[in-house]
């Protein structure tokens, strides 16, 4: 299948509920690299990179999020032309 990248914008009650930590733990468990951060408007943004199956699985997990979260929507943009790994690990941006 090969490596893919996706950018996700997650909205709802997703800040102050451990969403970034949840994302990082799941990404590392699945072998997905990239980053996650809170946005000023209350949303969470994430860039995921890895094998398609693992990235899709993480995307599905983020549609629910941690127990305290209430995800309203997940907007996904697949980033085309991923030629090499851009990320060495998964991080939380401030």
Active site residues: 20, 38
Cα torsion at 20, 38, 6, 76 (round to 10°)?
A: 110
The DSSP symbol for 80 reads P
Q: What is the 3-state secondary structure (H, E, C) of 14-40?
A: CCCCCHHHHHHHHHHHHCCEEEEEECC
On the 0-12 / 13-18 / 19+ scale of CB atoms within 10 A, 51 is: middle
């Amino acid at each position: 299948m090969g490596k893919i990248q996706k950018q996700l914008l997650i909205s709802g009650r997703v800040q102050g509920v451990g969403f970034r930590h949840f994302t990082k733990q799941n990404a590392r468990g699945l072998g997905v690299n990239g980053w996650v951060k809170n946005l000023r408007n209350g949303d969470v943004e994430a860039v995921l990179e890895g094998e398609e199956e693992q990235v899709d699985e993480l995307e599905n997990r983020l549609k629910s999020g941690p127990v305290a979260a209430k995800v309203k929507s997940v907007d996904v943009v697949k980033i085309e032309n991923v030629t090499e790994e851009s990320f060495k690990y998964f991080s939380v941006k401030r």
